[in-house]
Amino acid sequence: MKTRFILLAAVVVGGIGVVAARADDAEEARRIAESLIQQGTVEFLSDRELEFDDETLSGTVKAVEPEERVKIEITDFLFVPGRVTVTFNVESRFRFAGKVTVEETQLDVEGTADVGAQIDLVADYRDENGELFIDSRITDMDEFEVDVVELQPDDLPGGKELVEKLAKQSIEKHKDELKREFNQWMAEQNRR
C-alpha cells in the first residue's frame, strides 16, 4: 500500500515506554512523553516524501519545516506500572502536488495544507534483567482535519473546500491501513 496523506498522524517514538519506566511520577512522565512524541514526529517527517493515490485525489506530500510546524497536544494521559496510555492531537503543514478529479476530468493541483488528527496510543513495557522491552501501538485515529492554506490553480472548481473534503475522505477510507503502517514503524523504533 502506498503511504497516504495523513501519515504524520501516528508518529510516536517507541521510547514512550522508557518514559514510564524512568519518570518518578505521572506528570513528569506526561511532560516527557509529549516531548518524545514531538521529537518522533519531527524525525519521521523530516526528508520524507509521502505518496497518496485515490480515484479522486493522487500525488505526493512532504512536510514543510516539521521542526517548526509540528504541534503536539496531549489531551489524555494514563500512567500505570507496565503501561502508558496517551491520547494526543497532532498537526503539521504539508506541501502537496498531484491530481484531483473534478467532473471526470483530472486537473493538476499543488499547494499547502495543515493536516491533523487525534491519536490514541498504548505503550506496554517491562524490564527484564535491566533490559527494557517496549510494545507501543496506535489503537485509534480519528477527528481528521485538513485545512488547505494555499492552492494552485486558484480557480480550481470546488476550490480549497473540494481538496479538503477529498483528502479527509481518503484518510477515513484508509484509516486501518494507516494504523498498520504506523504500528510497523513504531515496532521498528522499539527495536532500536
User: Would you list the domain boundaries of the chain?
Assistant: 7-190
Q: Rounded to an integer, what distance in angstroms lies between the CA atom of residue 5 and that of residue 44?
A: 14
Helix/strand/coil for 99: strand
Calpha distance 139→149 (Å, rounded): 30
What pLDDT tens digit does each residue of the chain (192 aa) get?
A: 332 222 222 233 444 444 444 555 667 777 888 888 888 888 878 878 888 888 899 998 899 999 999 999 999 998 888 888 999 999 999 999 999 998 889 999 999 999 999 999 998 888 888 887 788 888 999 999 999 999 999 999 999 999 999 999 888 888 888 788 778 877 887 666
Torsion, Cα 70 119 41 167, to 10 degrees, reads -70
CA distances from 19 to 23, 26, 40, 80 (A): 6, 10, 14, 12
